Structure 1
Amino acid sequence: MTVHAIIGGTGLTQLEGLSIQQALSLETPYGAPSADILRGEYAGREVLFLARHGHPHRIPPHQVNYRANLWALRQAGAEAILAVNAVGGIHAAMGTGHFCVPHQLVDYTYGRAHTYFEGELEAVTHVDFSHPYDEGLRQRLIAALLAEGCAFSGHGVYACTQGPRLETAAEIVRLERDGCDIVGMTGMPEAVLARELGLPYACLALVVNPAAGKSSALITMADIERALGEGMGKAKAVLGRVLAA
C-alpha cells in the first residue's frame, strides 16, 4: 500500500481526523523541515502530514525550506505527495471556492534553493519536468472532487510567484497573457524537488480570492480566511476519498 504524504498549505496547518501515532522531529542535510512530520491514520490509511508554513502558520512562502520538507517526507517513508495550495483565480472559471487540479505550471520565483543537484557532484543531472504533476494522482483527485460534488477544473496552469506580497494587477495581466489560470506562491520548487526525489506529486488548489484586477474589490485577509474556512473542509473530504480509494 502506497504511503501518501499530505503537505498542508495556508488554511491547512492541521489535518482534523488524523489519528496521530507519531510526531517525527527530523533533521536533514538541508536543515529542519517546517514542522514535525505527523504519522497516523486518515480515512483508514497510513498517512504522513506536514504543515508547509509550520504550526502555527509562521513561515512565509519565500522562506519555506522546501528541500528539507521533501527530503524529510521521503526519509519518513512517503511514496507519493498530495499538496494542498491556496491560490488566486486568474481565469474567469476560477472563482472563489473553486478547486483546480493543475496540469502545468510556470515558475516566476527567484533566489529559492530549488534543487538537490548542486555542489560537489560526480555528474550533472537534469530531470525531465515536461509534465510537472503525476497524472495518476491527478486523476484520483479529479475522481474525488467529482464524488464530493465540488466545483472544480481538471486542468489549469499554476503560476508560482515569489511573494510574500500579492501581485499587482499588471502582473496578473502578464500571467494571464502567459497562459496561467491560477496564481500561488508555494508550488515551486516543491514540485520539482519531489520529481528529483522520484516522488509522484500532484496539487489540489483552492481558489481563495480573485487575482489582482479581477475584481473591483480590494483583496482582504478577512475574505481569504472566510474562503479558507469554507473550502478546506471540502479539501479534507477530497483527500479522504483519494486515500480511501
Structure 2
Amino acid sequence: MARKASRGQVSLGVIGGSGLYDIEGLTAVRDARMRTPFGVPSDAIRIGTLDGVAIAFLSRHGRGHRLNPGEINYRANIYAMKALGVQRIISVSAVGSMKESIRPGDVVLPDQFIDLTKRRASTFFEGGVVAHVGFGEPVCPTVAHALAGAGQQTGASLHEGGTYICMEGPQFSTKAESRLYRQWGVDVIGMTNMPEAKLAREAEICYATMALVTDYDCWHETEEAVTVEAILATLHQNVALAKRMLRTVVPRLGAAASTCGCQQALQTAIVTAPDRISPASRKKLGLFLDRLALPKKGKR
C-alpha cells in the first residue's frame, strides 16, 4: 500500500544503479512504498541502519532491473528522498570509460556533467513556478571528498574528478558518437545521472557520484565494443567494491554536520513573483518552498 513518509527520519540516501539492488548489513530494515506529486519512485525505499547510521536505499532501475534509463521517474525518486529527510545522496552508477587511462574495474568520482538526454523531465518547477538554480559545480565537494577517502581506504583504483556525459540510451553509442565525445575530453559515459543530479540540486540535497567503470564504450580499437555480457562480467567485481566503499563512507558522512551550500540552492533561485504562485503549486511544491517562507498573495 502506498503511503506518505514523514521527514526527518534519515539524512543519508544511496541510489543504486545497475547491479546494486540492495546493501548488506542493514539492520532494523523497513520498506517505504511512497507516492509523490510526481508519481511513484522506481521501487520501495529500503530504510535501515548501517554501522549506526540511518540510511535510505533506492534501486534506481527497480529490483530485478525493470526500468530502462528513460523510464525512470527521477523526479519521484528525488522527491521521495527529500520527503524522508535525506540531505545527502550517494549515486552509484555503471559507466563506460572514454579514456585509455580509466580502465574497467576503476572507480571515477566525476565533478562535472554534460547532459545529452532528450525526453526526461528535468525540473520540479513548472506550471506557473520558475526557478533557476546554480549548477556550475554540480557535485557536492563534501560528499565527493568523503567518497575519495573511502576509495583510498578500500584500495580502489580511483580517479578523482572528471566529466560524466549522460546519453539518452537505452542503446549504446555509435562509434562516431563515441569518438566525438572523446574529442570533447569527457572521462566516462552513462545513462542515468541526468537529470538526477539537477533534481537533487533543486531539492537542495548534496549529491555525488561513485561511477563504476565496466567497459571502454565502443571507441577502443583493441577492445571489444561494449555489450551487456561484457558489462555484467565486470559489474560483479565493481559492485563488491562499491559495497565496501559504502561501508567505509557511510559512518563518515553520518557523523559529519550537513552545512553545505547545496542546501541553500533555492534561496535566490525562484524568479516567479510570490503572489503569482497558485495555491495548488504551493501545495505541490511545499516540500521545497515552505523553507523559503515566500509571502502569499496579499501579504508583503
- TM-score bracket for the superposition, by shorter chain length: over 0.9
Please, which of 9, 14, 35 is the counterpart of residue 6 of structure 1? 14
> Given the alignment of the two structures, is residue 65 of structure 1 paired with residue 73 of structure 2, yes or no?
yes
| Misfit runs of 4+, over 3 Å | none
Instruction: State the distance in 2 between where 1:20 and 1:162 align.
Output: 37
Answer yes or no: is the 8 Å Cα contact 2:68–2:170 preserved in 1.
yes
What residue number does 2:237 align with?
230
Instruction: State the distance in 2 between where 1:69 and 1:196 align.
Output: 13
What residue number does 2:97 align with?
89
Instruction: State the distance in 2 between where 1:50 and 1:20 align.
Output: 16
Answer yes or no: is the 8 Å Cα contact 1:20–1:38 preserved in 2.
no
Amino acid at match of 2:164: Y
> Given the alignment of the two structures, is residue 195 of structure 1 paired with residue 201 of structure 2, yes or no?
yes
Please, which of 116, 140, 145 is the counterpart of residue 146 of structure 2? 140
User: Which stretch of the first structure deviates more once superposed, 218-227 or 152-161?
Assistant: 218-227
Amino acid at match of 1:16: E
Instruction: State the distance in 2 between where 1:174 and 1:37 align.
Output: 38
Please, which of 212, 219, 233 is the counterpart of residue 226 of structure 2? 219
Amino acid at match of 1:221: V
Please, which of 105, 108, 117 is the counterpart of residue 109 of structure 1? 117
What residue number does 1:79 align with?
87
Instruction: State the distance in 2 between where 1:228 and 1:20 align.
Output: 28
Amino acid at match of 2:189: V
Q: How many pairs align?
A: 243
The offset of 1:18, in angstroms, is 2.0
User: Which stretch of the first structure deviates more once superposed, 206-215 or 59-68?
Assistant: 206-215
The offset of 1:20, in angstroms, is 4.7
> Given the alignment of the two structures, is residue 52 of structure 1 paired with residue 86 of structure 2, yes or no?
no
Larger Rg over CA atoms = 2
Answer yes or no: is the 8 Å Cα contact 1:9–1:85 preserved in 2.
yes
What residue number does 1:127 align with?
133
The offset of 1:173, in angstroms, is 1.1
Instruction: State the distance in 2 between where 1:133 and 1:37 align.
Output: 23
**RMSD value, Cα:** 1.3
What residue number does 1:42 align with?
50
The offset of 1:133, in angstroms, is 0.3
What is the TM-score when the length of structure 2 is the normalising length?
0.79
Instruction: State the distance in 2 between where 1:112 and 1:133 align.
Output: 20
> Given the alignment of the two structures, is residue 239 of structure 1 paired with residue 253 of structure 2, yes or no?
no
The offset of 1:117, in angstroms, is 1.1
Answer yes or no: is the 8 Å Cα contact 1:43–1:241 preserved in 2.
no
Amino acid at match of 2:236: G
The offset of 1:88, in angstroms, is 0.2
Cα offsets for 1:149-178 (capped at 9, x unmatched)? 110100110000000000111111111112
The offset of 1:77, in angstroms, is 1.8
* Superposed counterparts of 1:164-179, under 5 Å: 164-179=170-185
The offset of 1:81, in angstroms, is 0.3
Amino acid at match of 1:213: W
* Superposed counterparts of 1:149-160, under 5 Å: 149-160=155-166
Cα offsets for 1:63-100 (capped at 9, x unmatched)? 10000000001111211100000000001121100100
Give the secondary-structure state (helix, strand or coil) at the position aligned to 2:77. helix
